[in-house]
Structure 1
Amino acid sequence: MMLPASLLLAQCIAGALHAQNAPGYTHNDFGEVGLLQTPTARMADEGDLAFTATRTYPYTHYNLSLQPLPWMEAAFRYSAVSNRLYGPIGLSGHQSYKDKSIDLKVRLWDETRWWPAVAVGGRDIAGTGLFSSEYVVASKRFGPVDFTLGMAWGNMGARGDIKSPLGWLYSGFDNRAGNTNQQGGEFNTLRYFRGPAAVIGGIEYQTPLDKLRLKVELDGNNYKHEALANNLRQRSPVNVALLYRVNRNVDVTVGYERGDTVMATLSLHSNLAQHAEPKKTLDPAPEPLREVASTPVPAEGPAALPRKPPGQVDWDELSRALGDNAGIDVSSIGRRGSELVIHGEQRSYFYPSRGVGRMSRVLDNRVDDSIDWFTLSSEAHGMPMVEDSVHRPRFVELLDHRIDMQEMRRSVEQNPPAIQPEEVLYTKPPKKFDAGVALGYQQSLGGPNAFVLYQFSANGSATYRFNRNLWWDGQVNVNLFNNYDKFTYTAPSLLPRVRTNIREYLTTSDVTMPNFQITGTHVLAPDLFGMAYAGMLESMYAGAGGEVLYRPYGERWALGVDMNWVRQRGFRQDFALRGYHTVVGNATLYVNTGFHDVTLAMSVGRYLAKDYGATLDISREFSNGVRMGAYATLTNKSGTQTGEGSFDKGIYFSIPFDLLLPRSSTSRATFMWEPLLRDGGARLNRRYSLYEMTSDRDSDLFEKNLEKIAE
């Protein structure tokens, strides 16, 4: 389910208010770490997420800022221009003009005792260019005062009182191309760092009042060259404002810009990488161990009963306990000498170490001392992934505080699935049928009909398992309420309409069936996994396809290939099909670079509009599972053929529900921002991905959260 950014921020803020000290950075009108109109060389803490809303007539900026790396800041925004209409009244009514833009700032080096921090960046680097600017800034702190000085080109430096200092390298830097890019969505490379420039800078002063800061800046824009013929009066180039820090997550700024215009900003920010999960009040309590002196032994329950040799254990009861308390859907149980092996899939706990710890408690309370090692052989849809093993005596010593976590690390192992002989003690058939109901939400931002088009729905899902490697699942969505009565716009396209007829898919029926497919998986060879599927694969396409993934255990790379024959579905999203069909597929190389946990996914192949091209996805995953990323797709179709937006691109962040809810969960909440939905570079939205299925083969999440084994 897609959640609005505001809901995710509210959840993160609520859990972090008491946890951390107030950050030293603040945000400017454009959501960048900075003063008012001016960015600084400062950066937020890595993992920071901020939502900033600013009003300075005639502009209202809604900004979402991400800090995926300590030296890189990214932001995207919607800007409303209140004195200009979006389009014809018959199409957009009286909706004000909306502009979408993307920013990027990179710190070249951090501040030292003698040298300032220096950063270079661009604003509106891939949009229509209404606010297109580039800059270089340096920031140095002296006690409570943080000084910033720099130079800006484009909109931010529109005063243009300095000839471009780059002109001596190449005369082309002396002149800047037109103010806006009517095509939109393209990188405005012909304007970067070109044309006259202006000095920018200012100070941020931490007043003696802890929560109050003063900002004063020199604005490099004289507002005489604004886009949309929207030139403004500027009585003074000096902007001034007071920022009040309500708490560590909320800032309010009020000030005066252009010498005669009041501005106001609300900034909500939280650090997702440092965000602690809420107390799991809805989870069952872990079973106490009888040998731990600090834990009272209950009069009843597993810890009070005698342990039994493996041949006498009630495996049905133990399997139920593993499911209820450790979240493990057991498929079988085996023995290798003094090692007891549980084969199964984790259904409840996002952090693998927490599930392993709970499993070890359950086993210790039921099995006699002939077993020294407890192993969980993790499976994903019937495919063995990895084995996590715990030395039983050391685990008991850890819970009794006789050893610390550092020593415990030497008694925990991760290995590829074993192929050695194993005595099978118990086999459990899979649960055949599952079903559930949930609320759903989807939205589209920044369209010509309305700034927000939304739908709330009731979603029913069901799964039938023929066996652990073969299953059917489906979903039915029932509209509860929406504002799709405003949705009349269909985007122009010179390509086959593989995505731009989304309006028809959203508005034709109140009851839809987004998914109805059968899926099978198989381990083809050690480290080689396969999957095949057929049915209604997504809301717009039906068909059949398959994927093969080679993912060597212990390596930081994987290689996958998928191939699919698809046919366009009817607008009602039932079993009807339309005439358009094609073959799509990609070869994808996944590389965990080991640099700040950055992963690259590089794909080449054929897309839905029968175009050929490549997609690059770059993401950063933090130790708690939070993920930030961006992607872009370029194909052999020109920007003119693709239309506004020029090429497919997006920014996203993903938060484990485990960080938001009082009950453990293996699911995620994902926010994806795609500026425009176009036909070029459109990919099939497959329900399952082998790379995601095999994520347990990446040991980082287990190792970085090993302390949760004791929870």
Structure 2
Amino acid sequence: MQNRGARGQGAGYLFSCLLLCGIPVEAWSQVSATVEQSTSLGDWLVSHHVEQASSAAKAPLYSHALMWSRPLDRSLQEASWRSLLTQIRYRPARPAIAPASREGLYQLIASRQPTGRLPVKSGDGAWLQANPSLDPVLAAGDTIHIPVRPETVTVIQEDGRLCRVPYRPEAEAAYYVSACNPGVKADLAWVAQPDGTLDKFRTGAWNRQAQTAVAPGAWIWAPARNSGWPERVSDRIGEFFATQAPSGLETNDSVASAPNVAPPALAAAAPLATRRAQDLAITTNDWGNEGLLQTPSARMGTAGEASISMTNVNPYTRVNVMLHPLDWFEFGFRYTDISNQAYGPASLSGSQSYKDKSIDLKVRLLQESAYVPQFALGMVDIGGTGLFSGEYLVASKRTGGFDWSLGLGWGYVGERGNIGNPLQIFSDKFRTRPSGNGSDEAGGTGKSYFRGPMSVFGGVQYQLSNVPLVFKLEYDGNDYKHEPFDYDAHAKLPINLGVVYRFNKNLDFSAGFERGNRAMLGVTLHGDLSRLGTQKVSDPARLPLAVPRPAPDAPSPDWSKTVADLKAQTHWTVLDIGRHGHILTVSFDSPDAFYRKDLLDRIATVLHRDAPADIDTFRVVTVVQGQTMRAYTILRTPWVASKTQAIPVTDRQTTVIAGAPPSRAQLEAEPKLYDKPFERFFYSIGPGYSQTLGGPNGFVLYAVSATANMALRLRQDTWIAGELSYRLLDNYSHFTYTADSNLPRVRTYLREYMTTSRFTIPYLQATHVGKLGTDQYYSVYGGLLEPMFSGVGAEWLYRPSNSPLAVGVDVNQVWQRAFNEDFDLRNYRTFTGHLTVYWDTGWNNVLVKLSGGQYLAKDRGATLDVSRQFQNGVSIGAYATKTNVSSATFGEGSFDKGIYVQIPFDAIMGRSIGGLANLAWQPLTRDGGAKLQRQFPLYDLTDDRSPKSLWYQPGADANVDADKR
């Protein structure tokens, strides 16, 4: 590692001459120097007074465009440069590229040599000194070049000619491209900024996005829409020019003699100089889907987007929850309050109005391009009563600030029914659609999909530039003559209009006038769950990094202080510290933080400060219930270098490696430097909350409780854990309804379990876990396994370290617990168990869980659980269970299903912490497909063995500057 305390002594011949040969500072036009002695860039800039030189020069030096070049990287870039030239001259393209364009661009790039330029965060020496991890270390032979600030931006023409445009503050790429190529339509622009960064912007009227301004000296490559240049080639062209010096300062190519763009062309492009490009405003409709008002569009939120909305159009108030696990797929659920219809008899529901539950989904079929609209297929109110069931096919096309939609709807979406169904050529069943008023043949069943006549629907939205308003106008495909419960809506017009006010990036307010006689009001809370993250303001302050290792003759460290500092920095408990040769091993007991990288850095900081000089590797081992799960190997020297200097990409190496852990026996065989006394008892006290939604006794029934969780360890691998709960506040006095059932009542006694006793024991379980060989785990357990069942059981899991696959089997003999949730039992017992396969597919981070076996009601079948996981740990998923009982026997809902979102507490808390918040929605509680909700499943206990152990990291919202990047 370089000694960052030493100041650079050699500045290269040219710079030394400028200092020593008497040349006035005012005459400097640039700084160019070859480094003769290793030093940091920040030290070099400060010691050679570059900032003072810049302020004194006739033309100020452009430190923003500082170029640091290395001979090694020049050689590597040369290989990429030659490959690019081959692609340009010989690679076929569709449509074909004009020969003159190929040759001209080839000659331009061939005339420019690779520079070996490496990115630098700043050209300010003092700033780099204050941020050593971003300050690169220069080696002898490296070159530094700081040009003067140019006054132009250069657009690279398709035939290799260069067009120079006077720089205009805050102007975006479209202004410069239009000035050089009036009337030419370019959908993408690559902007190589003078600091060596490369931006890629969508610039067409159909795909325009918000973008940063172009800096003076930038290069812009923006081929015309039909030029034939493949996007992957354009990517490489942009990357090449990002390594070049800023444009506008050349002395030996065509741009030096090319005149500036003519004034008429600048005048024509001038309106674009002040026009800010913006992203397409994707807003929700009255149903929570992306769309206009009553009608959907083909637009989709980005993967991770979620929204909760409430809209009111008399007599309907809708609460919608929509999720986007993938860019091309949306699903969610809805509650619709029908204010003019009672839920049931007053003796059951009081004055509560009717609540309808529904599930929606939408799939993008074709993505938008310059000439082709985006297409999507959607379904509304799948299953259930089908009061609002409908399907649709819709297309959307953007033209600047306008976004147009046109679609065909079936069912409620196309209730106007003014077009015959073309699907009737396949079967006469498609000619008519069953009633949607809650009968067995309701519109929500599979028997009704895409049946009946259709209607056209569509409209347009317009978003104002630089004003957070979106106006909407649509033609409604529903005439409202066939509303649920035979309600006559008296629609006067097929036209709806409205406006959305974007209060901020997460909150929209909407209002409209619909059907010619209805007002609409709505509010939508939306955001990207994949960006979710919180600054760790409650984590302890980081310890300073002691760069040099302790001296070889330094006394042995006080390991108890090391342990105390590790505990303070991570909140993790150290089990022991051992040494084997040049490896120092620290074992932690059940570390619970979701994001590990930052905490591993904190651990390395403490260990580097205290570990003897001859220790080259730190090994951090996680131990869960006595079983070693994961080893993180930290290479001491590269790790320190990565924290004290900017490492070029070509020199970077992995400093923290996740791998299979040593066995517990191997760890115990190492000589111990510290060994923690065995702790037996653990407890925590906190609040608890439970609720049921959408029942006939009330839309929200809730309970707030005080809970105490306790655990007694008999050994590291054997423990007794339990929970005590006391219900403090609730409205369960309204809970009188018990659902009917044709199966053994294993879940439909929900009311009895929730209302019989205020003091309960939700679980009290004894568990032993062990390991069979390298990759197999087992557990045996017994006791009060969950609030409704007690019993005994065993589980086996095969889960190799870093493998995307795992297989498990659990078997359980269970007895139904008494309603007061104490130690009494009812007379129902059964055997339940499942074979489960877990597969992290690697495709869009989708996790699939498939299990099959016998459920609590003695029915047999399978459960499919599919979820999308994001890098910040958020998961969006859904599950469905189908067993050997018929839909009629199962009851309302036909089969068990649900939707869930899991959010790590680490993403929403101000300190590093483990655990997940599980937000689940199950439309109905039935007895079929019910699984035992036991404690401590092995797949959860072995989560450290996942190949994503170091993949997780906080979302972009954890960075206060995330929106400025």
Q: What letter is aligned with 2:409? A: A
Partner SS, residue 703 of structure 1: coil
Superimposed CA distance per residue, residues 11-43 of structure 1 (whole angstroms, 9 cap, x where no aligned partner) = xxxxxxxxxx98721001111011111111101
Alpha-carbon distance in 2 for matches of 1:258, 1:75: 26
Aligned counterparts of 1:283 and 1:185: Cα–Cα separation in 2: 55
Is the aligned partner of 1:80 residue 2:337? yes
Asked if residue 563 in structure 1 is aligned to residue 811 in structure 2, the reply is yes
Give 1:377's aligned residue. Answer: 621
* Distance of aligned partners of 1:475 and 1:182 in 2 relative to their CA distance in 1, 3 Å threshold: farther
How many residues are aligned here?
A: 676
Specify the SS of the correspondent of 1:280. coil
The answer (yes or no) to whether the contact 1:307–1:366 under 8 Å persists in 2 is no
- Name the residue aligned to 1:257: 514
Superposition map of 1:92-107 within 5 A: 92-107=349-364
Query: For structure 1, which segment, 322-331 or 61-70, has the greater mean C-alpha deviation from structure 2 after superposition?
Result: 322-331
Asked whether 1:129 is paired with 2:373, we answer no
Inter-partner Cα distance in structure 2 for 1:348 and 1:652: 22
Quick check: 223-232 or 508-517, which moved more? 223-232
Q: Map of 1:8-407 to 2, 5 A cutoff?
A: 24-182=281-439, 188-208=445-465, 210-277=467-534, 279-291=535-547, 312-403=556-647
Match of 1:479 in 2: 727
Q: Is the 8 A contact 1:332 1:424 kept in 2?
A: no
* Pairing of 1:428-447 with structure 2 (within 5 A): 428-447=676-695
- Contact kept, 8 Å, 2:765 with 2:783, in 1: the verdict is yes
Q: Deviations over 1:320-349 (max 9, x none)?
A: 322221233222322232111112235352
Pick from 451, 458, 461: which aligns with 2:706? 458
- TM-superposed deviation, 1:181: 4.4
- AA in 2 matched with 1:325: Q
Q: Could you say which structure has the larger radius of gyration?
A: 2
Higher relative contact order (CA 8 A, sep 6+): 1
Equivalent-residue separation in structure 1 for 2:566 and 2:649 (angstroms): 24
C-alpha distance in 2, partners of 1:563/1:404? 54
C-alpha change, 1:338 and 1:180, in structure 2 (3 Å) is farther
Equivalence for 1:677: 925
The answer (yes or no) to whether the contact 1:45–1:70 under 8 Å persists in 2 is yes
- Structure 1 residues 393-402 or 525-534, which shifts more? 393-402
Structure 2 contact 871–951 (Cα < 8 Å) conserved? no
| Unaligned segments of structure 1, at least 5 residues | 1-20, 293-302
- Hey, what does 2:881 align to over in structure 1? 633
Correspondence 1:578-597 to 2 at 5 A: 578-597=826-845
Aligned residues of 1:489 and 1:503 also touching (Cα < 8 A): yes
SS of the residue corresponding to residue 637 of structure 1 reads coil
1:343 is matched by which residue type in structure 2?
Answer: S
Quote the offset at 1:404 in angstroms. Answer: 6.1
Larger strand fraction of residues = 1
How far apart, CA to CA, are the structure 2 residues paired with 1:373 and 1:659?
A: 30
SS of match in other structure, 1:677: coil
In structure 2, what is the Cα distance between the partners aligned to 1:681 and 1:513?
Answer: 25
Give the Cα separation in 2 of the matches to 1:142 and 1:24. 13
Residues 384 and 892 in structure 2, CA contact (< 8 A), matched pair in contact too = no
Deviations 1:263-299 (A, max 9, x none): 111000011101232x22221122211218xxxxxxx
Alignment check: 8 A CA contact 1:23 1:248 kept: no
Instruction: Give the structure 1 partner of residue 104 of structure 2.
Output: none
Structure 2 distance, partners of 1:348, 1:309, is: 37
> Could you give the per-residue CA deviations for residues 57-76 of structure 1, whole angstroms, max 9, x where no partner exists?
11010000101001001110
Structure 1 counterpart of 2:326, one-letter code: L
Q: 2-side partners of 1:271 and 1:404: how far apart?
A: 32
Tell me which amino acid in the other structure corresponds to 1:504: E
Residues 556, 612 of structure 2: 8 Å contact kept: no
Q: Is the 8 A contact 2:687 2:707 kept in 1?
A: yes
5+ residue gaps in structure 2? Answer: 1-277, 960-965
Whichever residue aligns with residue 553 of structure 1, its letter is: S
Measure how far apart 1:184 and its partner are.
10
Partner of 1:688: 936
Q: 1:492 to 1:404 in 2, by over 3 A?
A: farther
- AA matched with 2:294: Q
Match of 2:116 in 1: none
Alpha-carbon distance in structure 2 between the residues aligned to 1:117 and 1:174: 28
Q: Give the counterpart letter for 1:562 in structure 2.
A: D
2:546 maps to amino acid: R
Cα distance change, pair 407–533 in 1 and its aligned pair in 2 (3 A): farther
One-letter amino acid matched to 2:316:
Y
Could you state the TM-score of these two structures normalised by the residue count of structure 2?
Answer: 0.68
Q: SS of 2:761's equivalent?
A: strand
> Equivalents in 1 of 2:697, 2:746: separation in Å?
21
Shift in Å, 1:197? 0.4
Q: Structure 2 counterpart of 1:78, which letter?
A: Y
Q: Per-residue deviation at 1:311? A: 9.7
Deviation digits for residues 493-529 of structure 1, max 9, x if unmatched?
Answer: 1111111011111111111110111111111121111
| Residue number in structure 2 paired with 1:9 | none
Alignment CA distance shift 1:267-1:555 (3 Å)? same
Task: Map 1:406-417; keep pairs closer than 5 Å.
Answer: 409-417=653-661
The 3 A distance-change label for structure 1 pair 85 and 140 is: same
Work out which of the residue numbers 898, 908, 912 in structure 2 matches 1:650: 898
Q: Secondary structure at the match of 2:769?
A: strand
> Separation in 1 of the partners of 2:347 and 2:953?
56
1:539 is matched with which residue: 762, 782, 787?
787
**Kept in 1: contact 2:367–2:375 (CA 8 A):** yes
Q: 2:766 aligns with which of 511, 518, 542?
A: 518
